[in-house]
Structure 1
Amino acid sequence: MEYLLFYLNRQVQPRRIWWSPTKEAQDLDALLDKTFTTEFRTGYTNVAGMTVPNTFPPVAERIDRMTVYDDDVWLGGFPTADSTLVQEMVWYLGNNLDDIGAVMELEVRFPLLEASGLLDKSALIEAYPEVKHHLFAQDSIEYVKSIPRPRYIQSNLPLHLLPWSWQSGQTNAKMIYVYKEPEDVCMSFFKYAKHIAFRGTFEQFATLFLNDRVPFAPFWSHVISFWNKRNDLSYNILFLRYKEIEDDLASVVTKVRAFLNKPPLSKPEMELVLDHLSPQNMENNPAVNHRYLFEFAKEYLNIPEEEEVVGEDEEDQQEAKMTPELQAKFDDWVFKKIRGTDFYLGRDVQN
């Protein structure tokens, strides 16, 4: 028997509903536990319909009560959809092309709010006392509270698990939400997960993804929660498609700059931004290439170190391959999930 943990009201009071999972659900849960757990992430549960590590529920309650300031800038998206590139772009534009400040690690100046719920940090510190003061062992919520305003905050949570001010549309804070095609998210999330904890194949990861068994799934309810509020004047949301960034980065820079209420960039300033965000600079920039994170994972989480996420090695490209058969599964899944919504996919799917 298992239980679903979800919220009945804004005080985040949990109710347990006991149920007998199907054999298919049991097999999926077993696959998730087999391939995506470590000694510091020993299992998963379900909070408000979302798959999360079993260390997450106490963090969810604290996030619900968190104060949101009107000058906050938030970056949202399903894991890896919001991307390092977008995160760096938002910070750089919002801080008026501050090259000195941009030398600091991105995780320090643009932290992930719910990071404390992803691992059992008490167990990590008990096993390795020397990491007590390391950024990745800190209380991420308290850290976000402590950073100077205007705060830049990343979160991979769906709208209904953000602080109550966001859920209820009672804040003037800005949210930039990034949508990326689910097939691309699945591949990039797989590559990222391999650096942190995942030990399975891409086919196994795709199976978990399509069945809402990866952290922060379901994918479509995540996306639709922000899509439905993009034109609601009670919410200050800029909904971006990653394909826009791939097709015309300069236009997206202009759009984001305006959304942040910043003056238009001059031609030399635009050239500076585009150079700062170029693939070569992103890959070679130690402040954004996640080397800091991967070195920590290699030393303390027993995860082999690999190439930076902002680049892809040949093995990754071969292993995370979207075969025609798998693409057909995604197309069928996408068609079923967006049917009955007004979500504009921007491409045709086979069904």
Structure 2
Amino acid sequence: MDRMDVIETIAGIQLPGHLHTAQSLQYAQEFQFQEGDIVIISYPKSGTTWMQEILTLIYSQGDTEVATSVPNWERAPWLEHTFFKDLLKEGEGPRIITTHLPSELLAPALQNSKAKVIYVARNPKDVAVSFYYFHKMAKFLPDFDSFTEFLQKFQDGQVHYGSWFQHVKGWYAQKTNLGLFYITYEALQKNFRHSLKKLCKFLGCPMYSRELDQIQNHCKFPVMSQNVMVNYTLIPHKIMDHDQSKFMRKGIVGDWKEHFTDEQNVEFDKLFQEKMSDCGLQFVWSLD
């Protein structure tokens, strides 16, 4: 059965059937996390691929061999995807696990484990733009006629993977319970070296300056965007059409300025204040 147009639903959230089944989602919820597991959590298009690459390099002490020879979805497989069980490797250092699932589905299991949890967030205006372009190239996601149409759905939380606001707030509320390491895409952009040192400290992985240099150089956007183990050009054209948009498109902060009208920006700022005023989270909208 061709599942490219199938939609799975869990906790009121729609997910693409090409990557998810009822069985894979059930397996994800029942998964037993182990001490030593490293779990990357994010809303789509928030810097997930970047963090997968950073962790790969941290656990190889800056050696780029694995990062340039093994696809990132094998190095840090997605918990809720159908192929997760086949890709998860045992006995080869920490298991790096990736997920987009919301806190209400996974937080209880993580609270009862000793896994280390990393949450990567990104300002929602840039997320919306990046997610829109991802929809243009990912054939397993719905097609939208315009950014205006997509943005309205995004603001309403009516896109695949659900509401950005609920996802970020839900996981941030677990920061103390999980000892969660919270980091933003913008912080990584502004001072990668400082962020990398903080992450290494959280993981208990001290690094020498030479190793930090290697990680920093390899994880630059121009380098990663040309790495076929990261840029998803290995995926068949019928699933991801890179002629429509690149998976790794720009990698900057503030691209939303090229897409939001003044009216859309005012409306979004109002919504952001309504949704986020009770959690205290602040986001950087531009590095200019």
TM-score relative to the length of structure 1: 0.71
- Helix, strand or coil for the counterpart of 2:234? helix
Indicate whether 1:309 and 2:247 are aligned: yes
Partner Cα distance (2:203, 2:224) in 1: 22
Q: For 1:24-72, what per-residue CA distance to the aligned partner results, in whole angstroms no more than 9, with x for missing partners?
A: xxxxxxxxxxxxxxx6243546422323346543322211111111111
- The share of aligned pairs that are identical, in percent, is 20
Corresponding letter in the other structure for 1:90 = L
Partner Cα distance (2:216, 2:200) in 1: 13
**Out of 146, 161, 165, which is 2:105 matched to?**
161
Indicate whether 1:66 and 2:31 are aligned: yes
Q: For 1:150-175, what per-residue CA distance to the aligned partner results, in whole angstroms no more than 9, with x for missing partners?
A: 21111111122227522xx1111011
- Helix, strand or coil for the counterpart of 1:292? coil
- Helix, strand or coil for the counterpart of 1:231? helix
Q: For 1:171-218, what per-residue CA distance to the aligned partner results, in whole angstroms no more than 9, with x for missing partners?
A: 110111011111111111112222212432211211211111111111
Indicate whether 1:344 and 2:281 are aligned: yes
- Helix, strand or coil for the counterpart of 1:141? helix
Indicate whether 1:50 and 2:50 are aligned: no
Partner Cα distance (1:78, 1:302) in 2: 19
User: Hey, what does 1:23 align to over in structure 2?
Assistant: none
Contact 1:175 1:237 in 2 (8 A): yes
Question: Comparing 139-148 with 274-283, which one deviates more in the overlay?
Answer: 139-148
User: Hey, what does 1:321 align to over in structure 2?
Assistant: 259
Aligned residues: 276
Indicate whether 1:249 and 2:192 are aligned: yes
Q: For 1:119-142, what per-residue CA distance to the aligned partner results, in whole angstroms no more than 9, with x for missing partners?
A: xxxxxxxxxxxxxxxxxxxx3234
Indicate whether 1:152 and 2:117 are aligned: no
C-alpha RMSD of matched pairs (Å): 2.7
Comparing both chains, which one has the higher relative contact order based on Cα–Cα distances under 8 Å and sequence gaps of 6 or more?
2
In structure 1, runs of 5+ residues without a counterpart are 1-38, 117-138
Contact 1:73 1:152 in 2 (8 A): yes
Partner Cα distance (2:13, 2:134) in 1: 20
Q: CA deviation at 1:273?
A: 1.6
**Residue 42 to residue 246, structure 1, CA distance change in 2 (3 Å):** same
Partner Cα distance (2:242, 2:135) in 1: 12
Partner Cα distance (2:90, 2:275) in 1: 39
Indicate whether 1:282 and 2:224 are aligned: yes
TM-score relative to the length of structure 2: 0.85
Q: CA deviation at 1:148?
A: 4.0
User: Hey, what does 1:106 align to over in structure 2?
Assistant: 72
Q: CA deviation at 1:343?
A: 2.7
Q: For 1:295-347, what per-residue CA distance to the aligned partner results, in whole angstroms no more than 9, with x for missing partners?
A: x1x14x4846345322349xxx79971221211221121111123x2332246
Q: CA deviation at 1:149?
A: 4.4
Q: CA deviation at 1:86?
A: 2.1
**Out of 162, 171, 180, which is 2:113 matched to?**
171
Partner Cα distance (1:46, 1:268) in 2: 46
Partner Cα distance (1:325, 1:107) in 2: 39
Contact 1:212 1:218 in 2 (8 A): yes
Partner Cα distance (1:45, 1:319) in 2: 33
Q: CA deviation at 1:93?
A: 1.0
- Helix, strand or coil for the counterpart of 2:228? coil
**Residue 84 to residue 147, structure 1, CA distance change in 2 (3 Å):** farther
**Residue 280 to residue 151, structure 1, CA distance change in 2 (3 Å):** same
Contact 2:136 2:245 in 1 (8 A): no
Corresponding letter in the other structure for 2:208 = S
Partner Cα distance (1:106, 1:145) in 2: 13
Partner Cα distance (1:60, 1:206) in 2: 27
Q: For 1:248-273, what per-residue CA distance to the aligned partner results, in whole angstroms no more than 9, with x for missing partners?
A: 0101110111111111x332222222
- Helix, strand or coil for the counterpart of 2:182? strand
Corresponding letter in the other structure for 2:268 = F
**Residue 346 to residue 187, structure 1, CA distance change in 2 (3 Å):** closer
Corresponding letter in the other structure for 1:109 = R
- Helix, strand or coil for the counterpart of 1:153? strand
Which protein shows a greater Rg? Answer: 1
User: Hey, what does 2:130 align to over in structure 1?
Assistant: 188
